[in-house]
């Protein structure tokens, strides 16, 4: 899928640079994206947030506690493109 995340680089405490399969790249400040509640609460600790990896099977970023984010949402946040099914 062209919107799969293929690379993640941490650029700040809660900031990540993402590269997608179609070559699109962008930086997101996750302190503006995440509520840090529920499964994401542990990520409020920058050391835990830093454990982010790409899960190639899911095509997105994830953390050891099982938290992950939909790659379409990430792509939309970076590019401004509508989510599938939205106009």
Rounded distance between C-alpha atoms, residue 8 and residue 1, angstroms:
17
Contact at 8 Å (CB) between 4 and 23?
no
Q: Of 45, 58, 42, which Cα lies nearest the Cα of 8?
A: 58
Mean pLDDT across 50-61: 96
Q: Which CATH number fits domain 5-79: 3.40.50.300, 3.30.2020.10, 3.30.230.30, 3.40.50.2030?
A: 3.30.2020.10
Q: What one-character DSSP code corresponds to residue 45? A: S
Model pTM score: 0.92
* Helix %, strand %, coil % of the chain (to 5): 25, 30, 50
Q: Does residue 85 surpass a pLDDT of 90?
A: no
């Amino acid at each position: 899928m062209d919107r799969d995340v293929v690379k993640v680089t941490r650029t700040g405490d809660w900031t990540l640079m993402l590269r997608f399969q179609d070559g699109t790249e962008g930086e997101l400040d996750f302190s503006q994206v995440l509520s840090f509640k529920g499964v994401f609460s542990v990520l409020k600790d920058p050391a835990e947030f830093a454990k982010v990896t790409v899960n190639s099977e899911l095509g997105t970023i994830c953390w050891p506690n099982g938290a992950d984010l939909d790659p379409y949402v990430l792509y939309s946040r970076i590019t401004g493109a509508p989510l599938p099914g939205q106009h």
